[in-house]
Every structure is written in structure tokens, then in C-alpha cells.
């Protein structure tokens, strides 16, 4: 899961091939949440109020950048390089990953297989 930003102990990440709606993952100490890009709403999880407020402000400053990050994650643009693509591995959590921090969420893979 690529790290998009780190500030004040808050880590913001996005999964490659994650499910809709467009969102990012926020980690702060023992707290974690999924935040929608469009409205800044908490989709799942919890964050302390002050952390949520700072995260929303950070996201609002460059919403277009968040949307572009989401688009690129969905397209796996960096994985189009055949040399990089061949460096695939499975991490300790069962995620398929590459050295550039690209990964495929096991939850998303399971959901896609269940629909097939």
C-alpha cells in the first residue's frame, strides 16, 4: 500500500486495485479509518476528532491530487513496466506486492473471485 503522505504522526495510504467509492486509508497510533475523497466522510473506522479535522483539511487542500492518486492506483500505471512487474512477491499478509510499494489487496482479490 503506497504511502501518500505523513504529517503530525498521521500516515495516509492508498491501496492499488481497492474498491469504490474513491477513498484513502489513514493511520494514527492505534486508530485507522477509510476517508472518502469526495466529501471527507469516514467510511469505516475511527480517528480522534483533531486528527480527522487535520486529515480533512489536508485532503481538501489538494482534492484534485487525491483523485489523480486514486485514478493511478486503479490503473496500476507503474506496473506497466515489464521489468518491475516481474519482481512480484507475496508479503506476510498475503498481499501480492512489488518493490515500488504497489500491492493488490487480498480483500479485493477475494471479492473479485467471489463475483466470478
Q: What is the pLDDT of residue 17?
A: 67
Taking the chain (116 residues) in consecutive chunks of 10 residues, what is each chunk's mean pLDDT?
84 80 92 92 95 93 80 66 78 77 70 67
Q: Where are the beta strands (DSSP E) in 8-77?
A: 10-13, 23-28, 31-36, 42-46
> Could you tell me the residue range of the domain that residue 57 belongs to?
3-115
**pTM greater than the 0.85 cutoff:** no
Domain count, the chain: 1
Q: What is the pLDDT of residue 15?
A: 79
Nearest to 26 by CA among 1, 62, 68, 106: 1
Amino acid at each position: 500500500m503506497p504511502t501518500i503522505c505523513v504529517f503530525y504522526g498521521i500516515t495516509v495510504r492508498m491501496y492499488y486495485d481497492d474498491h469504490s467509492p474513491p477513498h484513502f486509508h489513514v493511520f494514527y497510533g492505534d486508530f485507522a479509518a477509510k476517508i472518502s475523497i469526495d466529501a471527507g466522510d469516514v467510511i469505516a473506522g475511527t480517528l480522534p476528532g483533531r486528527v480527522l479535522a487535520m486529515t480533512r483539511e489536508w485532503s481538501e487542500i489538494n482534492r484534485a491530487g487525491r483523485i489523480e492518486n486514486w485514478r493511478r492506483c486503479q490503473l496500476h500505471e507503474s506496473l506497466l513496466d515489464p521489468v518491475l512487474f516481474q519482481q512480484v512477491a507475496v508479503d506476510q499478509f498475503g498481499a501480492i506486492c512489488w518493490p515500488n510499494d504497489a500491492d493488490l489487496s487480498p480483500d479485493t482479490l477475494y471479492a473479485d473471485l467471489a463475483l466470478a
